[in-house]
């Protein structure tokens, strides 16, 4: 049987650019139709995507819907509800010397052909949520799923063309060679989610064409626990935020920062919280996922000697199971503190108090998220004023990214640019200045 030869990146981009130049993607009606079709795909084929996510990451159906499928549906619904208002031209004051008849305003213009490169940890959400913004802004889109989540990549490559306008949306599968070939093309925007190493590669490639980029990266997101808090509640929320998707979440609490006495009190509560979530044997829990591949399993296993094991510390390379693990007595110079963990290991690092915690955070790269558990308004103010992070959450990890009216993005080493809701329109559009001075 003869199989069709896949389009080369140059052909894909040229075809989508030709479509964009016809003006086909500009009308709001086209944009909303694409979003509704994408929503239909997610609702009609959600079971297919959930099965692929389980194959790639061991995600339960509940987690797949909550964190990927339904999450993206909510993003679509929010965008459909507000898109007309977001796109409405915004008047600007005109200086007196231009006369009373002059008018000025700004409008959002689509950029053109956009490349979205997704990671493997949330391979549906982190591909499609940016695609939602790119389509809503009126662009043509090349979607590049992660090859490290092959079942999900294959499902998306099969489903997206069945639902969306194939003259304006293309899926390109593959690994480093295919991504490298794509990055050699001229795009009007590149949206990349992943790590800083590849982020630098993306920026270098984009610089050749002066292409703007958004980089959604990661980093070591701290969780500061003050001594005045309800530690039982804190432990439960930390465990849920950390061990979701087996810790493979860019905004998961990377480590706990607290004073020695609070650390000692928190240890048994975290162990209890893990058992409450996944039972006495998390390997048997249908709600606990798996590490994406053996390479990451080996990397994470090498971090387990960085402290005293409070709970967990075991794994099975054959099944890529790594137990939810809490480490105590962790030295800031230990291996587990030198890199983003991106797995189910939660170190506890002790400092004397708030001043030292702030210094500890500021001595390191700016994190994607910073979480604070405290009852003190002054502590909240100090953290907000004296640190820099992509997002700041008081009392609950991860939740800020579920608020569609908040921008999601990093700062410094944790990224640049933001998206979700209206901020996606801003990212994937050019805000054009317009002045009208009548001739008579």
Instruction: Note whether residue 179 is domain-resident.
Output: yes
Instruction: Note whether residue 1 is domain-resident.
Output: no
My answer on whether 90 and 122 are in the same domain is: yes
Helix (H) or strand (E) holding 116: strand 113-117
Of the candidates 250, 267, 340, 413, the residue annotated as catalytic is 250
Model confidence at 252: pLDDT above 60: yes
Of 374 and 4, the one with more pLDDT: 374
Q: How many CB atoms lie within 10 A of CB 44?
A: 12
Mean pLDDT value across residues 392-403? 96
Under a CB-based contact definition with an 8 Å cutoff, are residues 253 and 393 in contact?
Answer: no
Mean pLDDT value across residues 334-338? 97
Q: How far apart, in whole angstroms, are the C-alpha atoms of residue 271 and residue 7? A: 52
Instruction: Note whether residue 366 is domain-resident.
Output: yes
- Count the domains in the chain: 2
Model confidence at 2: pLDDT above 60: no
- The pair phi, psi for residue 100, each rounded to 5°, is -70, -20
Residue with tokens 């790269």: 365
- Residue 341: CB partners within 8 Å, gap ≥ 6? 220, 247, 254, 255, 300, 303, 347
Mean pLDDT value across residues 410-430? 97
Instruction: Note whether residue 54 is domain-resident.
Output: yes
Reported as a pLDDT band with limits 50, 70 and 90, residue 325 is very high
My answer on whether 233 and 371 are in the same domain is: yes
My answer on whether 86 and 141 are in the same domain is: yes
Give ∠ CA 208-212-218 in degrees, rounded to 5.
Answer: 105
Instruction: Note whether residue 2 is domain-resident.
Output: no
My answer on whether 176 and 263 are in the same domain is: no
Chain centroid, CA 148 distance in Å: 16
DSSP 428: T
Question: Secondary structure of 176-220 in the HEC alphabet?
Answer: HHHHHHHHCCCCCEEEEECCHHHHHHHHHHHHCCCCCEEEECCCC
Model confidence at 6: pLDDT above 80: no
My answer on whether 181 and 313 are in the same domain is: no
My answer on whether 118 and 265 are in the same domain is: no
Q: Which tokens belong to 167?
A: 């003259």
Q: How many CB atoms lie within 10 A of CB 176?
A: 10
Instruction: Note whether residue 294 is domain-resident.
Output: yes
My answer on whether 206 and 258 are in the same domain is: no
**From residue 68, how far is each of 106, 122, 206 by CA, in Å?**
34, 7, 28
Q: How far apart, in whole angstroms, are the C-alpha atoms of residue 212 and residue 203? A: 9
Q: Which tokens belong to 217?
A: 């990266």
pTM: 0.96
My answer on whether 168 and 110 are in the same domain is: yes
For residue 156, the enclosing domain spans: 9-217+415-436
Model confidence at 4: pLDDT above 70: no
My answer on whether 293 and 150 are in the same domain is: no
The helix/strand/coil state of 345 is strand
Q: How far apart, in whole angstroms, are the C-alpha atoms of residue 91 and residue 434? A: 9
Of 4 and 192, the one with more pLDDT: 192
The rounded mean pLDDT for the chain is 97
Question: What CATH number does the domain containing 35 carry?
Answer: 3.40.605.10
pLDDT in tens, 284-305: 999 999 999 999 999 999 999 9
**From residue 415, how far is each of 120, 141, 179, 337 by CA, in Å?**
18, 21, 20, 20
Model confidence at 347: pLDDT above 80: yes
My answer on whether 212 and 297 are in the same domain is: no
Q: What share of the chain has pLDDT > 90, as a percent?
A: 98
Instruction: Note whether residue 4 is domain-resident.
Output: no
Question: What CATH number does the domain containing 310 carry?
Answer: 3.40.309.10
Under a CB-based contact definition with an 8 Å cutoff, are residues 244 and 398 in contact?
Answer: yes
Q: How many CB atoms lie within 10 A of CB 163?
A: 18
Query: Which of 312, 288, 285, 310 is CA-nearest to residue 301?
Result: 312
What integer pLDDT is reported at residue 400 of this predicted model?
96
pLDDT in tens, 164-203: 999 999 999 999 999 999 999 999 999 999 999 999 999 9
Q: Which tokens belong to 361?
A: 């955070």
Instruction: Note whether residue 409 is domain-resident.
Output: no
Query: Which of 253, 248, 137 is CA-nearest to residue 193?
Result: 248
Reported as a pLDDT band with limits 50, 70 and 90, residue 415 is very high
The helix/strand/coil state of 310 is strand
- 216 assigned to active site: yes
pLDDT in tens, 55-113: 999 999 999 999 999 999 999 999 999 999 999 999 999 999 999 999 999 999 999 99
My answer on whether 240 and 189 are in the same domain is: no
Of the candidates 68, 75, 185, 216, the residue annotated as catalytic is 216
Model confidence at 1: pLDDT above 90: no
- 178 assigned to active site: no
My answer on whether 18 and 50 are in the same domain is: yes
Residues linked to residue 141 through DSSP beta bridges, in sequence order: 114, 169
What integer pLDDT is reported at residue 7 of this predicted model?
84
The helix/strand/coil state of 141 is strand
């Amino acid at each position: 049987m003869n199989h069709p030869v896949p389009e080369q990146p140059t052909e894909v981009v040229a075809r989508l650019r030709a479509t964009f130049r016809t003006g086909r993607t500009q009308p709001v009606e086209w944009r909303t139709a694409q979003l509704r079709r994408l929503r239909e795909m997610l609702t009609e084929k959600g079971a297919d995507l959930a099965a692929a996510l389980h194959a790639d990451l061991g995600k339960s159906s509940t987690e797949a819907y909550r964190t990927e499928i339904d999450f993206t549906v909510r993003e679509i619904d929010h965008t459909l509800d507000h898109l007309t208002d977001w796109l409405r031209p915004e008047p600007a004051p005109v200086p007196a010397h231009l006369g009373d008849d002059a008018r000025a305003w700004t409008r959002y213009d689509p950029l053109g052909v956009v490349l979205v490169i997704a990671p493997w940890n949330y391979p549906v959400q982190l591909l499609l949520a940016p695609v939602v913004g790119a389509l809503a802004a009126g662009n043509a889109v090349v979607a590049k799923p992660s090859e490290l989540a092959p079942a999900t990549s294959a499902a998306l490559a099969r489903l997206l063309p069945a639902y969306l306008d194939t003259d304006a949306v293309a899926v390109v599968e593959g690994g480093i060679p295919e991504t490298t070939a794509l990055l050699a093309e001229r795009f009007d925007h590149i949206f990349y989610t992943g790590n800083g190493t590849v982020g630098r590669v993306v920026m270098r490639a984009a610089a050749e064409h002066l292409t703007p980029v958004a980089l959604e990266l990661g980093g070591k997101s701290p969780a500061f626990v003050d001594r005045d808090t309800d530690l039982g509640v804190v432990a439960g929320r930390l465990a849920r935020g950390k061990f979701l998707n087996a810790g493979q979440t860019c905004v998961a609490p990377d480590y706990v920062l607290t004073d020695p006495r609070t650390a000692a009190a928190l240890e048994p509560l975290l162990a209890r919280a893990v058992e409450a979530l996944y039972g006495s044997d998390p390997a048997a829990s249908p709600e606990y996922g798996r590490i994406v591949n053996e390479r990451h399993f080996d990397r994470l296993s090498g971090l387990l000697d960085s402290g005293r094991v409070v709970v967990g510390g075991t794994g099975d390379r054959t099944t890529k199971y790594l137990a939810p693990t809490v480490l105590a007595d962790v030295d800031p110079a230990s291996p587990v503190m030198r890199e983003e963990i991106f797995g189910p290991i939660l170190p506890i690092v002790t400092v004397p108090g708030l001043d030292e915690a702030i210094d500890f955070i500021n001595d390191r790269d700016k994190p994607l998220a910073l979480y604070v558990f405290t009852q003190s308004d002054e502590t909240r103010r100090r953290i907000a004023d004296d640190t820099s992070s992509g997002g700041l959450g008081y009392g609950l990890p991860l939740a800020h990214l579920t608020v569609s009216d908040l921008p999601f993005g990093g700062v410094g080493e944790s990224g640049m640019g933001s998206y979700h809701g209206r901020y996606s329109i801003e990212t994937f559009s050019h805000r054009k200045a317009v002045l009208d001075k009548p001739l008579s």
